[in-house]
Chains A and B, each alone.
Chain A
Amino acid sequence: MRVWLYLGIAVCLAGIGAVLHGAMPSSLRGKIVQSANPEDGKVIDGVFVSDYFNLSYRLPDGWTEGLAGPPPSQSGYYVLGTWAPKRDFAGTILVVAQDMFFAPEPSDDVKNVVAEFRQVMSAVDGMTIDREPAPVTVGGHPGYRIDFSGVGLFRSMFAIEIRCHVVTFNLTSRDLESLASLAHSLDDLASVRKEEISDPVPECLKDYASENIVSRVEPDAVGAKAASIPVRMILATDGSVKHVHVIRASATQRRNIEEAVRQWKFKSYVKGGRPVEVETGVMFNLKPTNM
């Protein structure tokens, strides 16, 4: 069960002075559950909140949720939100996240992700790079920004890394002034204060499962279809599996994997002389039963 909490955000930025605490519906205040999944973010009373990414963002005045995006992909790609003006459709914000455990061609950090993006966009006929990739800080997270434009569309991408995901805010507008305003609105992006969090954020370790597993139960394969199924898991300090997140699978595959993985045991991960929780990933490659 997830209980939503929105606590006061201690981030006040020049010219804005926004304090998120005042923006949070009081009915939502409770204990943050760190086992929330990336796709669980929601817009409530005009504020996008994500427990998993520990982020909150007040949508620009007059903006609302657009069409929901697709479900998480087999490569751990999420559309977290699409936002647009309620009336004059003059721009959009698209927020996505890529799980770096399962990215098709994982880059080692957000800087390289943006550099690759810059290369791709500069090769598009008619596209201009208006602002070269440059370091920024968004919501307390270091990242990179790039601006580009073409065929009457002006765009910015802000990319930050959180919990082994690259989260990008993709801003699009028909003019530079509106784009600048959208970029400015990211000043309201904030993180919930660490001391208010009930559980510490797990240590993010990509290959922990393959190197530190003590016992493993295989899930039953389902049907006559090959399937690659990405699974994230949070390991408790004693090495047991605390939370399983099957990113994309059929209902039966999901159930089988969850049942199997909950029985797995790992070595405890020790950091600074103390056992700490770990978040890691495993790709299940289920073979068809007739192969």
Chain B
Amino acid sequence: MNANAVTANTAGRGQNNNSGGASSRAPTDPGVRGGDPGAGGALPGLNDVERQYFDVAKDVFQEVDAGPDGLGPRFNLDSCSGCHSQPTIGGTSPATNPQVAVATLMGAKNVVPSFITANGPVREARFVRNRDGSPDGGVHSLFVITGRSDAPGCNIAQPNFAAELARNNVVFRIPTPVFGLGLVENVSDGALEASLAANAQQKRALGISGRFNRNGNDGTIARFGWKAQNKSLLLFSGEAYNVEMGITNELFQNERDSDPACQFKVTPNDSTPLVSENTASPAASFQNDIDLFAAFMRFSAPPTPASSAATPVAQASGALNATAGQTTGAAAGTSTASSPTSTASSPTSATSGSASTTSDAASTAPSTASTASSPASTVVASATADVSSVITAAAGSSTAQPSSSASSGASVTRGNQVFSNVGCQACHTKTFTTEKSPLTGQSNVTLQPFSDFAVHEMGTGLADGVSQGSANGNEFRTAPLWGVGQRIFFLHDGRTKDLHEAIQQHASRGSEANAVINNYNLLSRDDKQALINYLRSL
């Protein structure tokens, strides 16, 4: 178990991590790219009624709650958008952590735990085990409303995080982006299952398997949350409202701390209004908050990648050719990356027994890691739509010659190839297609979330020891990579801001990703850099 992720995690790593790879110098993460995220607004194609509904839902998502609204008595933050704000409303953890300020807002007397810092990620904390050694895994809210001017008489105390940290019993999660999740919700189980089975041979050559976290009630695939523990956006909303903000609702009706001195609103705190609330959307005027939170996610447009030519990239020399966003990677040295020498001869036969030269090849047929989409499908976001050219594969082994990053466009294009060649796409599946949708223009839409929505064994280095549904303490859902170019913090606990380091953290004892990370570490520095640049274009 790795219970303290505040510092760089090396627990569980074997003696042969090979993170040095082909070059002793790591590639440079150019940092958060600028430009329009393409997300934060409504899905393209919605009609006026749906758009009005979305606008109200987005406003509610940004509401700051207080004691009279039912905040707490234990909570992590006081609004949805406080956690989900980078690069815009609905995203993930912002650069400045709002949890520091909320700790003492309105006279609250909370002590900010050591793992919460002003420039660190928004975090929730879970305890791995109870004091008696039995599994816990639940969220222990950081703050209490004690001392707040809107909570007179409440006198409960924060959990003793210092003691639990000393026991190595605290693990963390950061907010997941919620952009485009209506599209994800509308991908059929059959499509997810077909995707996981697709290219099974390639997965098996990389040590990858994966499985779905299925709902205990109906056996269907849960797909939201770090361990795919949440079945639906509504469930996701209801749980977060109570767990993160302490606001009970019609899905989670009971207070997590029922001290009567700390209750300042009827329970559940949020319920369906029976009288119109006179919002700009007649439909939204009769909705409770969790329905509107779910609607915000469901109607939310996915991130769109930057054009490759406009993506700020780091060159192999470590110099940035753009300064958008923040540079997180350490500046690399100045030596020019050299291409590895390769013997460009035809492969030598060296097999025991007979190595027949008789070609037994099957006919080449394009494979797909997605369900078949109909010709009428609409591409919402294409990671390669703006890539103008593809490096042409010459015959023989010439494709194995690394290219130099002559321009941002070439580097991003090359990075796309690297992504597929080393095996990232085996889990970070690029493309799915939605089913028929009740929303206007959302049926048969192609989305590119870069996730298979399965859970995978990620090894002791990332393990948090928390089981949720059928996901065990070592398993995590493949994190969707759409929009990753504008994220600040990476991995489930936000342990790093650097994409290269995030990639390395995929490898540890027991991880399905070890072979892919070995492939990454065998790359030339140029190609590692190209992959980082490509990810920053998403």
A3 at interface, CB cutoff 8 A: no
Cβ–Cβ contact A120 & B202, under 8 A: yes
Cβ–Cβ contact B523 & A152, under 8 A: yes
Cβ–Cβ contact B362 & A153, under 8 A: no
B201 at interface, CB cutoff 8 A: yes
Instruction: Name the residue among B219, B343, B360 with the largest chain A CB count within 10 angstroms.
Output: B360
A-chain residues with CB within 8 Å of residue B352 when the two chains form the complex: 13, 136-139, 186-187, 189
Contact with A along B388-429 (1 / 0, CB 8 A): 001101011111111000000000001011101110000000
Contact with B along A110-128 (1 / 0, CB 8 A): 0101011111111111111
Q: How far is B13's CA from A64's CA once the two chains are assembled, in angstroms? A: 15
Cβ–Cβ contact A86 & B16, under 8 A: yes
Identify which of B201, B207, B219, B396 contacts A69 (C-beta below 8 A). Answer: B207
Q: How far is B515's CA from A69's CA once the two chains are assembled, in angstroms? A: 9
Identify which of B218, B219, B355, B397 contacts A176 (C-beta below 8 A). Answer: B397
- Kindly state the interface size class of chain A when it binds its partner: 35 or more
B18 at interface, CB cutoff 8 A: yes
Contact with B along A131-160 (1 / 0, CB 8 A): 111111111001011010111111001100
B340 at interface, CB cutoff 8 A: yes
Contact with A along B312-347 (1 / 0, CB 8 A): 000000000000000000000000000011111111
B-chain residues with CB within 8 Å of residue A122 when the two chains form the complex: 364
A-chain residues with CB within 8 Å of residue B13 when the two chains form the complex: 67
Q: How far is B417's CA from A138's CA once the two chains are assembled, in angstroms? A: 32
User: Is chain B's binding surface mostly helix, strand, loop or mixed?
Assistant: loop
A126 and B205 in contact (CB under 8 A), knowing A135-B360, A172-B522, A226-B216?
A: no
CB distance from B108 to the nearest CB of A (A): 38
Cβ–Cβ contact B16 & A134, under 8 A: no
Q: Which of A188-229 contact B (CB under 8 A)?
A: 189, 224-227
CB distance from A39 to the nearest CB of B (A): 12
Of B33-41, B481-489, B506-514, the one with at least 4 CB within 8 A of chain A: B506-514
Cβ–Cβ contact A152 & B524, under 8 A: yes
A-chain residues with CB within 8 Å of residue B469 when the two chains form the complex: 225
Identify which of B354, B420, B527 contacts A124 (C-beta below 8 A). Answer: B420
Identify which of A13, A67, A123, A133 contacts B16 (C-beta below 8 A). Answer: A67
Chain B residue at minimum C-beta to C-beta distance from A173: B522
A67 and B14 in contact (CB under 8 A), knowing A126-B420, A126-B421?
A: yes
B-chain residues with CB within 8 Å of residue A132 when the two chains form the complex: 359-361
Contact with B along A81-105 (1 / 0, CB 8 A): 0101010011110101010000111
A255 at interface, CB cutoff 8 A: no
B353 at interface, CB cutoff 8 A: yes
Chain A residue at minimum C-beta to C-beta distance from B524: A152
B-chain residues with CB within 8 Å of residue A189 when the two chains form the complex: 352
A-chain residues with CB within 8 Å of residue B503 when the two chains form the complex: none
Q: How far is B406's CA from A31's CA once the two chains are assembled, in angstroms? A: 61
Instruction: Name the residue among B200, B201, B342, B512 with the largest chain A CB count within 10 angstroms.
Output: B201
Cβ–Cβ contact B204 & A96, under 8 A: yes
CB distance from B329 to the nearest CB of A (A): 21
B159 at interface, CB cutoff 8 A: no
CB distance from A230 to the nearest CB of B (A): 12
Cβ–Cβ contact A96 & B355, under 8 A: no
Chain A residue at minimum C-beta to C-beta distance from B357: A134
Cβ–Cβ contact A117 & B205, under 8 A: yes
B209 at interface, CB cutoff 8 A: yes
B268 at interface, CB cutoff 8 A: no
A-chain residues with CB within 8 Å of residue B519 when the two chains form the complex: 92, 153, 172
Q: How far is B402's CA from A175's CA once the two chains are assembled, in angstroms? A: 12
B191 at interface, CB cutoff 8 A: no
A168 at interface, CB cutoff 8 A: yes
A184 at interface, CB cutoff 8 A: yes
Q: How far is B515's CA from A79's CA once the two chains are assembled, in angstroms? A: 10
B7 at interface, CB cutoff 8 A: no
Identify which of A84, A94, A227 contacts B207 (C-beta below 8 A). Answer: A94
B134 at interface, CB cutoff 8 A: no
Chain B residue at minimum C-beta to C-beta distance from A11: B352
Cβ–Cβ contact A152 & B396, under 8 A: no
Cβ–Cβ contact B510 & A69, under 8 A: yes
Instruction: Name the residue among B14, B18, B197, B204 with the largest chain A CB count within 10 angstroms.
Output: B204
A-chain residues with CB within 8 Å of residue B350 when the two chains form the complex: 180-181, 183-184, 187
Q: How far is B196's CA from A173's CA once the two chains are assembled, in angstroms? A: 27
Cβ–Cβ contact A119 & B364, under 8 A: yes
A65 at interface, CB cutoff 8 A: yes
Please list the 5 inter-chain residue pairs (A to B) with the smallest Cβ-Cβ separation, ordered nearest first. A137-B353, A73-B209, A115-B362, A70-B457, A126-B417
28 pairs of residues in contact across A and B, judged by CB atoms under 8 Å = A13-B352, A67-B17, A67-B507, A89-B521, A92-B515, A119-B365, A120-B199, A120-B202, A124-B421, A128-B398, A133-B359, A134-B358, A134-B359, A136-B353, A136-B354, A138-B351, A145-B351, A151-B422, A151-B523, A151-B527, A153-B523, A174-B522, A175-B342, A224-B216, A226-B470, A227-B470, A291-B217, A291-B219
| B interface residue numbers (CB < 8 A to A) | 13-18, 20-22, 196-197, 199-202, 204-207, 209-211, 214, 216-219, 340-348, 350-368, 390-391, 393, 395-402, 414, 416-418, 420-422, 456-457, 459, 469-470, 474, 507-512, 514-515, 518-519, 521-524, 527
